[in-house]
Structure 1
Amino acid sequence: MFDRLVLPFRRPALQRFVAVHPPSRQVSRADGELIAAYEGILPDSLLELWRRKGLGFYGDRQLALIDPRPWQSVLNRWIVSPSDDVRRIPIVLTPFGVLLYYRKLTATDEDVAFIDPVSKRTSDLAWSLDEFFNRFLCDEQSLESLISPALLRSAREECGALSSGEVYEIDQMLFSMQMLRIAKVDAFEMHRRLRDAVDPPRPTAEKPTTVADALPVEHRSTFENIADGQDLAGLYLSSYSDWHRLLALRPDGRYSLLFWRIHYRSLERVDVRFYTGTYEISRNAEGDEIVELDIILRAGSSGGDDNDDRLVVMHSGGASFLLRIHDLDHIATAIGGWDEMGRSEYYFRRITLDEAFPEESDDSLPAPPFADLPRVLQVLVHVEPLRPTITHVEEPDLDEEDDGEGTVMCTLDLGEEDGLRFNMPLYSPPDTDRQLKGWVWKMAPHACKVGVKYRRGEDGAIEHGPAVGDILTTRAPGER
C-alpha cells in the first residue's frame, strides 16, 4: 500500500518555448481579469503561460507577449475581417513591430499569422498555437525568417535594448539607398502612423463636450431624467484611458450600467455593452453604505464586467464616489504611497449629463482626508507607512540581467498579516542614504519576498543594490 499519493508532474505546454526564450525580468504575470477575458477564446496553453510566467519580453530577441486588449483595434485596422466571423487576436510583437495574431478558423482548426506594418505583408506561420511557440519560434531558421539577426544586432548596437512598449524602426528611405538608420519608437504610434499613411482615418462622429455628448446615441435616452436627490440615486461616471462606464441608480431600485469606448481617431462609440437589473443598498458591520448590483454576464460580456457588482459609498468635499470593493487594496496602496486615489477605473464619481466630459482620465486625484474614507478602506490604508527590513538577499540570477541591471529577491521581516500586499511598491526611506525600489512579489504571513533592483559598476561588482539590514517603506519618495 502506498502511504501517500504521488501526483504526476505535468510540464507546461509551452515549456520548450520558455526554455529557448526565457522570460526577462520585465515579464509580469497576467491578472485574473485578463485571464478571464480570454478563457475559452485563446488556447489554454497560452493562458497557462500568461498565468505562470506573464507578459513582456522573452529571450535575447525580445519577443514581446502582449495584452491583446489595447492591440485589438490596431490589428482590426490592418485586417478588415470578412463575414466569416473568424476572430483574430494579437498575441506577440517582434522587435521590429511585426504583429503576430491567433485565428480560430473552425471548431477544430486554428493558426498563427502575422502582419508586417512596414511591408504590409501578411501570411500564416503555423497551423496551431502550440506549434508556433514550440516549433516555429524555437527553430533558428524559421525565427530568422521573421527577425533578421543582422538587423537586430545593428539595432542593439545603435539604440540599445528595447523598453516595454518600444520597437525598432528602420528609416525606409535611407534603407533603400543602402544606408541604415534605426530608432526606438513607441510601438502603438508606429503602427498607427504607418496605417494612417495607407488609409488616413477621418472623424465620423462629433468630439464630445459634455457627458451626454459622449454617450452612444442609442443609449442617451436611458440616462436622461434620472432623479438626482440627496440619496444615492443619480449618475456616476468612471473614465480610464479611452474606456468609460456610466452607472445610473434609479429611485425604484433598478440600475443601468453602460460600458463603451471612444475611438481615438474616428471618435465613434465602440465596444458598447449594456447591463440593467436591480440593486440593493445595505450597511456593513462598520457602518459603510454598500451598493450591490445584480450583474448577470452573458455571451459577449468581457472579463471583469461584473467587477462593479459591489461598491462602497464615499462622500468627501461635496462630491460622492462609489469605490469598487474589488479594487480597494489598489486604492489603499495608492493612498498610502502617493496620497492619491490611484487609477480612475477603480471608482465612479457622481456627475450630471451636462457636465464637461473629461478629455483624459485623471489618475492623480488627491486622496480625501482619512476621516472621509469608508471604514472598510481605512483599515487597509497605512496612516503610518510600514518599514520592513531586509533579512536575506538571494544570489542574483545572471541570466536575468540586462546590461548589468537586474532584480534580486529579498526576504523581509514583515508579511501579509502585517499589512503588505502583492505588488505593493517599496522604497528606501528619505532618512537613509539609499535609493532602492522594489515590489512585493511573493506573499507569506510574516516574511514576504520583494524584488529589488540592482546595478553593477564597470568592474562587474554590484554598486547599487540591496543588503541585509536595509529598511524599505511603503511611502513613495517626496510624499509626506
Structure 2
Amino acid sequence: MLSSTMMSRVDGKPAISGDPRMRLLGRVFDSFRRIALERFVQKHPPSRQVSPAPGELVAAYEELLPASLLELWRRKGLGLYGALPLTLIDPRVWQPVLDRWIVSPPDAVRRIPIALTPFGTLLYYRNVTPTDEDVVCIDPVSKETSVLAWSLDDFFNKNLCQQDLLAEIVNPSLVRSARKECGPLAPGEIYEVNQILFSMQMLQIVKVDALDAHRRLRDAVDAPKPVEEAPTTVADSLPGTHRSLFADVATTPGLSGLYLASHSDWHRLLALQPDGQYRLLFWRIHYQTFERIDVRGYRGAYRVSRNAEGDETVALDIVLHADSSGSDANDERLVVMHSGETTLLLREDALGNMATAIGGRDVMGDSEYYFRRVSFEDAFVDEPYDGRVAPPLADLPRVLQALIPAEPLRPTIMHVAEPNLDDEEEGEGTVMCTLDLGEDDGLRFNMPLYSPNETGRELIGWIWKMAPHACQVGIKYQRGEDGAIKHGPAVGDVLTTRSPDA
C-alpha cells in the first residue's frame, strides 16, 4: 500500500510528491482521464501531425490561459483538428500578428491568440476579470471582430460541436468547395478566397501560408512603401549583408556551386564549396517593401555519397539554433537530379510528395521541395508555386522513379461505409470507402484520387487511413431532394491517381 506521505487525492486525481514512481503513476493516471475539452476532441479529432506541446510552452501560459486549454495542449497538442480543420496555434508566434491588428495601451486586457479557422479568422482569448472571460475573433478580410463565447470551455465544447453554432464561425459549403478545389490543408496553411471574383459570384480558392496572408492583409490596410529595390538577379535578391558570403562560390563541373529554392516569398540559397563546406541562407522578400526579412543562416560540412539505388546524394550537417524553425532541418538530405542542362537537389523527405505530383499532374510538386542550380548573374524569376513541369521519367533519380508507378494506380472501391449523418452539412458529406489497394501497392497518405474520365463519374477524395493492401479514402457525396444519395461512391467504382485535368 502507498504511504499517505507519498500520495494524497485532490479533486479526484492523485497529488504527486517528488517520488519518481509517483510521478510515473500520475502520468499513467493522466493518460486515461477524460479531458475537459473531450467533446471537442471527439467531434474534431487531432490530425496525425498533432503531438503534445513542449513543457516550456505550457509553463509559459499557466497563469494566462484556462487549465482546460493547457491540458489539451499537453495531452494532444497544437495543429490541425477535425475535418474543418481548426488549427490550435502557438501564441508566441501569432502574438505579433494579433498586436498589429489590435493596437492596445499597455494596461489593456491581454489578448492571447489561440486558434485559426481554415479561412484565416484568428481566434483569441481574453481574461476580462478574475471571473469573466471570452473568446473573440478577428476576420483579416472584413477587419471585423466579434465575441463568439463567454467561456473558453463552452466555445470548444459547444460552439465548435453544434452544427448551427459552428456554421456561424466557418461557412461549411465554402470549406467543402475549398477542399474540393485545393485538397486538405497542411500545418501552417489556410484557404484564401479571391474576394474580387467572389463579389462577381465566381469562386477561386488557393492555399497560402497563414502568417504570410495575415501580414499581407494587414499591410494592405496601410500599405508600406518600398524601402529596398525589387530584385532582378539572384545576387541582388539576397540580404545586402550576406551577398559577399556567396559571391566567391564558383560553379564547377561537379556539384560545387549555388542552388536556389523559392516558394512564394520564402527563399533558400545553398552554396556547396569545393572544400566540403556549405552555406545555407533562409530569407523572405516582403512583397510590398521588398525588405529582406526573417533572415537566418547555417554553415558546416557536407558529404557527397550514393544511396542504395545508386543516386548521388548530398548530406548537410545542419545544427539548429535558438531562432531556427524546426523545418530548417528538412534540407539535411538531398538527392541529385540532372536533366539536360538543369541540375536540381531534391529534398529526400519530400520524395513521396513529388512522386504523387509527378504521377498525378506531371509537375514536381511544391517548389519548396527542391533547389535549382543558379549563378549570381541569373535573372531572379518566380518558380511555379506548385512546381515546374517534371522531366522525363528516365531523368529522375532511381529512388524517385521507384515511387512512381509505370501506369496510374486504379484502385477499386470494395466497401462503402454508412455516412455519418452528424457530419453532413446541407446534404453533403464525406464517406469512408475501403479500396483493394494499399500502402504496399503504392498508395500514400493524403494522395488524391479521382474518377477516370471514361467512367463518366466525378468522384474525388483523399487517402485518409493507411493499410498494406486496403487503404481507406474519404469520398465526397451529395443527397438529392428526396434524401437519397445522388452523387456518391458505390462498390465497384474505379478511381485513379491521375488527375483528369492532367
TM-score bracket relative to the smaller structure: 0.7 to 0.9
Q: Who is 1:453 aligned against?
A: 476
Counterpart for residue 295 of structure 2: 272
Match of 2:325 in 1: 302
Q: Do structure 1's residue 344 and structure 2's residue 341 form an aligned pair? A: no
Q: Which residue of 2 aligns with 1:57?
A: 84
- 1:388 corresponds, among 407, 411, 414, to 411
Deviation string, structure 1 residues 20-64 (Cα, Å, up to 9, x no partner):
xx34xxx983647xx699885465724765679626637xxxxx4
Correspondence 1:342-421 to 2 at 5 A: 342-359=365-382, 361-421=384-444
Partner residue of 1:252?
Answer: 275
| Alignment partner of 1:467 out of 476, 490, 499 | 490
Give me the whole-angstrom Cα distance separating, in 2, the residues matched to 1:82 and 1:278: 49
Partner of 1:212: 235
Give the distance between the partners of 2:115 and 2:254, measured in 1 at CA: 48
Q: Give the secondary-structure state (helix, strand or coil) at the position aligned to 2:481.
A: coil
Percent sequence identity is: 57
Q: Whole-Å Cα distance in 1 between the matches of residues 116 and 202 of structure 2?
A: 17
Choose the corresponding residue for 1:312, options 325, 331, 335.
335
> Contact (CA 8 Å) 1:166, 1:184: kept in 2 or not?
no
Over 3 Å counting, the alpha-carbon distance change for 1:268 and 1:250 in structure 2 is same
**Distance (whole Å) between structure 2 residues aligned to residue 111 and residue 297 of structure 1:** 38
Match of 1:179 in 2: none
8 Å contact from structure 1 (residues 387, 471) kept in 2: yes
Q: Quote the RMSD (CA, aligned, Å).
A: 4.4
| Displacement after TM superposition at 1:472 (Å) | 1.1
Map 1:131-170 → 2, pairs under 5 A: 132=152, 134-138=153-157, 152=168, 165=191
| Partner Cα separation in structure 1 for residue 352 and residue 98 of structure 2 | 34
Other-structure match for 1:178: none
Where 2:458 maps in the other structure, the secondary structure is coil
Residue aligning to 2:346: 323
2:461 to 422, 435, 438: 438
Cα displacement (A) at 1:210 = 1.2
Q: Which residue of 2 aligns with 1:45?
A: 72
| Residue identity in the other structure for 1:247 | L
- Please identify, of 182-191 and 363-372, the stretch whose mean Cα deviation from structure 2 is larger: 182-191
Residue 366 of structure 1 deviates from its aligned partner by 1.1
SS of the residue corresponding to residue 228 of structure 1 reads: coil
Distance apart, 1:90 and its partner CA: 4.3
Could you tell me whether the CA contact under 8 Å between 1:66 and 1:90 is conserved in 2? no
User: Residue 448 and residue 195 in structure 1: after superposition, are their counterparts in 2 closer, same or farther (change >3 A)?
Assistant: closer
* Structure 2: distance between partners of 1:247 and 1:255: 7
Count of residue pairs the alignment pairs up: 430
Letter in 2 for 1:341: M
- Residue type of the partner of 1:208? P
Of the candidates 78, 86, 92, which is equivalent to residue 101 of structure 2?
78
C-alpha distance 269-337 of structure 1, shift in aligned 2 (>3 A): same
Shift of 1:264: 2.3
Contact 1:393 1:466 in 2 (8 A): yes
State the alpha-carbon separation in 1 of the partners of residues 52 and 423 from structure 2. Answer: 29
Separation of aligned partners in 1, 2:134 and 2:385: 40
1:28–1:382 CA distance, 2 compared to 1 (3 A): farther
Instruction: Encode CA deviations 1:166-195: one digit per residue, 9 max, x unaligned.
Output: 6999xxxxxxxxxxxx99998989967874
Contact 1:56 1:65 in 2 (8 A): no
The 10-residue stretch of structure 1 (400-409 or 245-254) with the greater mean CA deviation from structure 2 = 400-409
Change (3 A) 1:248 1:192: closer
- Give distance in 2, aligned partners of 1:434 and 1:251: 55
1:14 pairs, out of 37, 48, 64, with 37
State the distance in 1 between where 2:148 and 2:455 align: 56
Choose 189-198 or 378-387, whichever is displaced more.
189-198
User: Conserved in 2, the CA contact under 8 Å of 1:392 and 1:412?
Assistant: yes
**Corresponding residue number in structure 2 for 1:229:** 252
Separation in structure 2 between the aligned mates of residue 267 and residue 258 of structure 1, nearest angstrom: 17
Which amino acid in the other structure matches residue 244 of structure 1? H
What one-letter code is carried by the residue in structure 2 that aligns with 1:400?
D
CA offsets per residue over residues 419-463 of structure 1, 9 Å max, x none?
111111111122322221111110111111111111111211111
Query: Which residue is equivalent to 1:61?
Result: none
Q: What residue identity is the alignment partner of 1:65?
A: T
Matched residue of 1:304: which SS?
A: helix
Q: Which residue number in structure 1 is paired with residue 47 of structure 2?
A: 29
CA shift, 1:17, in A, is 3.4
8 A Cα contact 1:282 1:289, kept in partner: yes
Change (3 A) 1:304 1:152: closer
Higher relative contact order structure (alpha carbons within 8 Å, sequence separation ≥ 6): 1
Please say if residues 36 and 303 of structure 1, whose CA atoms lie closer than 8 Å, have aligned partners that are also in contact.
no
Partners in 2 of 1:264 and 1:333 — Cα distance? 30
Aligned to 1:285: 308
**For 1:55-105, what per-residue CA distance to the aligned partner results, in whole angstroms no more than 9, with x for missing partners?**
6637xxxxx437679977753532579999xx987443479976324799x
Give 5+ residue unaligned stretches, structure 1: 1-5, 59-63, 105-109, 170-181
- Deviation at residue 353 of structure 1 after TM alignment: 1.6
CA contact (8 A) 1:68 1:89 kept: no
